[in-house]
Chains A and B, each alone.
Chain A
Amino acid sequence: MENEDKARKFITEVLRNMVVDPSTKERIEKDLYCHIMEAAENVDIDTFLQQMGSPQEVASEFMQNIYDSDSDLVQKLVQDKKIPPHHPAPPPHPLHHLHPPHHPDPASHPTPPPPHLKTVKPPMHPVSPPEEANREVPED
């Protein structure tokens, strides 16, 4: 197999293990290709690909460094999987612990979202507040 084919095959596997937006994916694809071909001018491509690690490891390293934090990554995963945003339940009644609610019909009380969605933090770069929030309220 030619060096170009080996590089392409490896990169396809790396990209298959990544959750990034299409433009970043394209950027990584081009750069990894150049990188492997640059290396192949100096060392044997099979040895070099082996040194890089498995495609899963390469993908994981990229992901860890592209996202600033775990919460950014979770947000991205949620967006990519098109999971609807979680609307938090209203605060419990002050005497909630004394009188736990009884739910005879499970259909009317859907299962809570999985734990990983409950821990989603706001993004590192918060979205600007809506204009209404900045508007001055005239004093009475």
Chain B
Amino acid sequence: MDGINRQLKKGVTEILVLHLLSKMDMYGYQLIQDLDQKSASTFKMKEGSLYPILYRLEDSGLVKSYYKEPQGREMPKKYYEITPEGVLELNKMKTEWIRMQMIVNSVLDIDKEGS
């Protein structure tokens, strides 16, 4: 069951990360905290899961990163921001997510049984 859960989460994490970045620029630690909080700890991401996703998104031009000048004694932080291509891709992903959700629900008879 853990394996299935892991695969399901893996499939949707990219869209969640893109969505969070569409709201505001964030640094890695902030992304993990925000996702944890907004998902009621369902998506407790580890560093080894988040950064490879960010690398894929960055390498395909959907997000870009920049360092923000530190304020006072703060360390410089690496922020990620969504690109216009990323916004387009996010919209496509959301449409596809809704379509998939409907199809899977239909196959599983979830709508019919109301379960």
Contact = CB atoms under 8 A, between A and B. Distances in A.
B74 A61 contact: no
Interface stretch (A25-33, A70-78, A109-117, A123-131): A25-33
Interface in A21-79: 24, 27-28, 30-32, 34-35, 37-42, 52-53, 58-66
Contacts of A41: 74-75
B29 A38 contact: yes
Contact of A65 (B27, B49, B78): B49
B interface, size bucket: 10 to 19
Contacts of A65: 48-49, 52-53
Main secondary structure of the interface of B (DSSP, over half): helix
A39 to B, nearest CB: 5
Contacts of A31: 28, 51, 54, 78
B41 interface: no
Contact of B75 (A32, A37, A58, A60): A37
Given A35-B29, A38-B29, A52-B46, A62 B77 contact: no
A132 to B, nearest CB: 31
Contact of A34 (B46, B53, B55, B75): B75
B106 to A, nearest CB: 29
A34 B28 contact: yes
A interface, size bucket: 20 to 34
Nearest to B33: A42
A38 B55 contact: no
B84 interface: no
A41 B68 CA distance: 15
Nearest to B67: A34
Interface of A: 24, 27-28, 30-32, 34-35, 37-42, 52-53, 58-66
Interface of B: 27-30, 46-49, 51-55, 74-78
Given A34-B76, A35-B51, 9 more contacts: A31-B51, A34-B28, A35-B29, A38-B27, A58-B48, A60-B48, A61-B48, A62-B51, A66-B52
Query: When A and B form their complex, which 4 residue pairs have the shortest distance between CB atoms, in order from nearest?
Result: A61-B48, A65-B52, A38-B29, A62-B48
